Chains A and B, each alone.
Chain A
Amino acid sequence: MKSMEELLEIKNKAKVDMSARNQSGKRIVVGMATCGIAAGARPVMTALVEELKIRGVNDVSVTMTGCLGLCKFEPIVEIIDADGTKCTYIKMDANKAKRVVAEHIINGRPCEDLSIASANI
């Protein structure tokens, strides 16, 4: 059972390596309007955060956003690099999310087969 006291440990740990954080400028955004939620966006977001932690990446933020206007391709995940370059992944699930963390975030190779470029719009 978790207790609030654990927050103090998290705080102390975070303060030590705070300087290393948020320097890549990379962001991950998950579409989480009604369409995204119903299609399964929440487990995708959880999987992204968990996989980043497992792999020791602590300089990439994961946040939710509203409807991206492409409801039939939800769950949608966008990875935005520091220079503003955007890669849009469609029809995501928890396993695809883990793959994207490994291949795109860690190895720097976007998963073209999962991106919107691969879709027949």
Chain B
Amino acid sequence: MRDLSLHLLDILTNSISAGATVMNIEIVLDKANDRLKMSISDNGSGMSEDFLKKVTDPFSTTRTTRKVGLGLPLLKEMCELTGGSLLLQSTLGIGTFVDADIVLSSIDRLPVGNTGESLAALISTYVDRDFIIRFQSIGENESIIDTREIRSKLDGVPLSDPEVYLFLSQYIWEQQINILGGI
């Protein structure tokens, strides 16, 4: 993966597969503590304790097309390369929380990339799910984008509309740059 936004897209497809209807995404810049945090919490089916233990092993997956699953293992590796860590919490029937703790100044830290493109692809495909995205720079400012608000503004025009897709892609990207800067 070339940047964090691609990891984000990948991890969110896990939430979708787990039947999540609401996904909370936070990307938080904490300059004072030299940290970049990306977290996703969903209300999907969750994982059993057994599966949670082995989920960052590339040879465990729920997919049926092949026997390897690289999404979480790749994210975990990236976090650890920077000196950070990946925290996973999950409860069957409740949901899952993925928290990537990344060292901001590490030379191995990937750039954030364009989260707008990642989220626009998801929002326009999974039009009946809700995504709440929060960018924050601790001690400075924050921005929240909520598909429930967008859906009500659109008044029946589907989120899959191509104009909406391109608007969201650009809008989310601008909010990201505005809050996090070009990191």
| A contact residues vs B (CB 8 Å cutoff) | 1-2, 4, 6-8, 10-11, 13-15, 18, 30, 32-35, 37-38, 42-43, 45-46, 49-50, 52-53, 58, 61-69, 71
Asked whether A67 lies within 8 Å of B65 as measured between CB atoms, the reply is yes
A38-B1, A49-B166 known; A14 vs B153 contact (CB < 8 Å): no
Asked whether A38 lies within 8 Å of B161 as measured between CB atoms, the reply is no
Number of A-B contacts (CB under 8 A): 100
- Min Cβ gap A76→B in Å is 12
Cα distance A53–B124 in the bound complex, in angstroms: 15
Asked whether B162 lies within 8 Å of A58 as measured between CB atoms, the reply is yes
Cα distance A111–B121 in the bound complex, in angstroms: 24
- Taking the complex as formed, is B97 at the interface, i.e. its CB lies under 8 A from any CB of chain A? no
- Taking the complex as formed, is B167 at the interface, i.e. its CB lies under 8 A from any CB of chain A? yes
For B, the interface residue count at a CB cutoff of 8 angstroms equals: 40
A32-B9, A32-B13 known; A46 vs B117 contact (CB < 8 Å): yes
Asked whether B161 lies within 8 Å of A50 as measured between CB atoms, the reply is no
Asked whether A37 lies within 8 Å of B10 as measured between CB atoms, the reply is yes
Asked whether A10 lies within 8 Å of B163 as measured between CB atoms, the reply is yes
Asked whether B163 lies within 8 Å of A13 as measured between CB atoms, the reply is yes
- Residues in A neighbouring B17, C-beta threshold 8 A: 66
Task: Please encode chain B, from 141 to 183, with 1 for each CB lying within 8 Å of some chain A CB and 0 for all others.
Answer: 0000000011001111100111111110111001000100000
- Min Cβ gap A71→B in Å is 7
- Taking the complex as formed, is B74 at the interface, i.e. its CB lies under 8 A from any CB of chain A? yes
- Residues in B neighbouring A34, C-beta threshold 8 A: 10, 69-71, 74
- Residues in A neighbouring B69, C-beta threshold 8 A: 34
Excluding A7-B167, A32-B121, A43-B117, 10 further A-B contacts by CB distance (< 8 Å) are A10-B157, A10-B164, A11-B153, A15-B157, A33-B13, A34-B71, A53-B166, A62-B124, A62-B165, A63-B124
Asked whether B66 lies within 8 Å of A7 as measured between CB atoms, the reply is no
